């Protein structure tokens, strides 16, 4: 399969089989994270793999609080969702709502962590929130998502559980100085991968020499 | 080529040919960004493609200020660089110093931008700096780096130019509300891709149910 086909079909999987994910396939998936770029080759990313049913159930309970608030706001139009070309927002929301209420049944959760002292952000004094911390974290996460897709595994990347970082850290014995950056659920999808995701055209996001001047028509 | 081989050899390219990169191959590389995950399918990432020699020269001049300070600190041991298994830090620094002083000769620069209003971070009130903004930005950047590797193109991802965000925004007409998140240089490498990057073993970064308990030996 071509790389671009992998990327075009690497979607947020919301329906999973309960079949286990073996240590072997999971090792190949996690190994992909090692090769991603990050500042100074300091490699700040860590993963806590959670399969324990009670831990997943507790994290789902926490997750549902911000999730239910998000759904309520989205249904009232208070949150912008979707691409320019997308027409099926209610379907996306109901799928995501199903996921939120059943995420503890997904066999593997990866709690993505980062050693903040190993990241040297370059955008702390710009009068806007910093984004550069993520440059040493999320490339590794994307490698994991792509390698999982390559193995036929579905994934969902969510950051909503960050609202419960203190509770998650206490439960998983995550020390001071470590941030929880995302959760990635991993399992075998019930449905075939989509052929192609719904995205805005390239012309809306690539500019030539000056912001707003399209490079491609 | 297997996906994992692409990932293992997707390194920071510091020596480039001056041969141009065509619009066609660049379009395939940038298109990869579209498919990456981001919150709510709001797709906040934008790219300003810069080939103009004078713009690149000016950005290099800005870049060299924080770069030279970084090299001085690193040579004095004030900055931790490298993996546990790495022994060639001086080589890495001299390669990176060559790159910094010649980066304007790389045919294409991608200035990676993000519409901050389209990102809803979940970690703003945790008593630590936010990292989640990057979850909607850097997966797309990683797709670009991997697709460039797939096309035989070298890339270097750097965030150092964020120190000059106001100047870069003025030069490229980047409006308020848009952050500059990174620069990716793109060109044909002078050398063969490495077979495999230098990284710490998986056992140091993957834990089983509890932080610090290795999942793999």
**Does a structural domain hold residue B92?**
no
pLDDT at residue number A68: 97
**Does a structural domain hold residue A154?**
yes
Q: Which residue of A has its CA nearest to B117?
A: A80
pLDDT value at A87 more than 80: no
Q: In the numeric block, which tokens belong to residue A170? A: 């206490």
Q: What is the mean pLDDT of residues A160-185?
A: 98
Sequence-ordered list of residues with C-beta below 8 angstroms from that of B133, at least 6 positions apart, any chain: A129, A130, A131, A134, B114, B116, B119, B121
**Does a structural domain hold residue A135?**
yes
Of B36, B142, B215, the CB nearest to A36: B142
Of chain A, the percentage scoring pLDDT greater than 90 comes to: 89
- From chain A, the residues in CB contact with B210 under 8 A are 48, 172-173
pLDDT at residue number A214: 94
Q: Using the beta-carbon criterion (under 8 Å), do A37 and B211 form an inter-chain contact?
A: no
Q: Average per-residue pLDDT in chain A?
A: 96
pLDDT at residue number B202: 96
Q: In the numeric block, which tokens belong to residue A200? A: 């805005």
pLDDT band at A112 (very low <50, low <70, confident <90, very high): very high
pLDDT at residue number B89: 77
pLDDT value at B83 more than 90: no
pLDDT band at A134 (very low <50, low <70, confident <90, very high): very high
**Does a structural domain hold residue A111?**
yes
- For chains A and B, CB pairs below 8 A equal 307
Which of A9, A206, A212, A213 should we substitute to test contact with B (largest number of B Cβ atoms within 10 Å)? A206
How many Å separate Cα A100 from the centre of its chain? 14
Of B23, B147, B197, the CB nearest to A3: B147
pLDDT at residue number A45: 98
Q: Using the beta-carbon criterion (under 8 Å), do A133 and B131 form an inter-chain contact?
A: yes
* CA angle A166–A106–B37, rounded 5-degree value: 75
Q: In the numeric block, which tokens belong to residue A141? A: 């996460």
Contact call for residues A112 and A183 (beta carbons, < 8 A):
yes
Task: Name the nearest CA neighbour of A208 among B106, B47, B179, B161.
Answer: B47
- Write the pLDDT tens digit of every residue in B146-188: 999 999 999 999 999 999 999 999 999 999 999 999 999 999 9
* CA angle B5–B11–B15, rounded 5-degree value: 130
Task: Provide the edge-to-edge strand list for the sheet that holds A108-115.
Answer: A154-158, A178-187, A108-115, A45-50, B206-208
* CA angle B178–B180–B181, rounded 5-degree value: 120
pLDDT at residue number A52: 98
Q: Which residue of A has its CA nearest to B55?
A: A209
Q: In the numeric block, which tokens belong to residue A84? A: 């320019």
CATH of residue A25: 3.40.109.10
**Does a structural domain hold residue A139?**
yes
pLDDT band at A161 (very low <50, low <70, confident <90, very high): very high
Question: Max CA-CA distance within chain B?
Answer: 53
pTM confidence score: 0.98
pLDDT value at B67 more than 80: yes
Instruction: State the nearest Cα–Cα gap between A87 and chain B, in angstroms.
Output: 12
Of A37, A39, A51, the CB nearest to B145: A37
**Does a structural domain hold residue A143?**
yes
- The DSSP 8-state label assigned to residue B62 in this structure reads H
Q: What is the mean pLDDT of residues A108-136?
A: 97
**Does a structural domain hold residue B81?**
no
Q: What is the mean pLDDT of residues B35-51?
A: 97
pLDDT value at A89 more than 80: no
Q: What is the mean pLDDT of residues B45-63?
A: 98
Of A122, A129, A197, the CB nearest to B35: A197
3-state secondary structure A111-170: EEEEEHHHCCCCCCCCCCCCCHHHHHCHHHHHHHHHHHHHCCCEEEEECHHHHHHHHHHH
3-state secondary structure B157-214: EECHHHHHHHHHHHHHCCCCCEEEEEEEEEECECCCCCCCCCCCCHHHCEEECCCCCE
pLDDT at residue number B86: 76
pLDDT at residue number B84: 79
Q: In the numeric block, which tokens belong to residue B76? A: 């004095």
Total number of domains in chain B:
1
Neighbours of B190 (CB within 10 A): 12
Binning chain B into helix, strand and coil, the percentages to the nearest 5 are 45, 15, 40
Interface confidence: ipTM more than 0.90: yes
Q: Which domain holds residue B129?
A: 3-50+107-204
**Does a structural domain hold residue B183?**
yes
At A183, which helix (H) or strand (E)? strand A178-187
- From chain B, the residues in CB contact with A85 under 8 A are none
pLDDT band at A78 (very low <50, low <70, confident <90, very high): confident
């Amino acid at each position: 399969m071509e790389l671009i086909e992998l990327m075009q079909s690497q979607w947020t999987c919301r329906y999973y089989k309960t079949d286990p994910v073996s240590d072997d396939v999971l090792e190949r998936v996690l190994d992909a994270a090692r090769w991603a770029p990050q500042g100074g080759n300091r490699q700040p990313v860590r993963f806590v793999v959670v399969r324990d049913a009670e831990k997943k159930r507790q994290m789902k309970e926490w997750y549902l609080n911000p999730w239910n608030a998000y759904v309520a706001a989205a249904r009232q139009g208070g949150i912008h969702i979707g691409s320019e070309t997308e027409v099926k927002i209610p379907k996306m929301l109901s799928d995501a709502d199903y996921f939120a209420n059943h995420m503890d049944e997904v066999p593997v959760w990866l709690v993505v962590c980062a050693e903040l002292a190993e990241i040297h952000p370059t955008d702390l004094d710009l009068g806007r929130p910093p984004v550069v911390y993520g440059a040493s974290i999320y490339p590794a996460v994307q490698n994991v998502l792509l390698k999982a897709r390559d193995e036929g595994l579905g994934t969902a990347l969510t950051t909503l559980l960050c609202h419960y970082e203190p509770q998650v850290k206490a439960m998983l014995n995550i020390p001071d100085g470590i941030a929880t950056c995302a959760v990635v659920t991993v399992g075998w999808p019930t449905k075939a991968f989509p052929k192609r995701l719904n995205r805005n055209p390239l012309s809306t996001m690539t500019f030539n020499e000056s912001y707003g001047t399209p490079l491609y028509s």
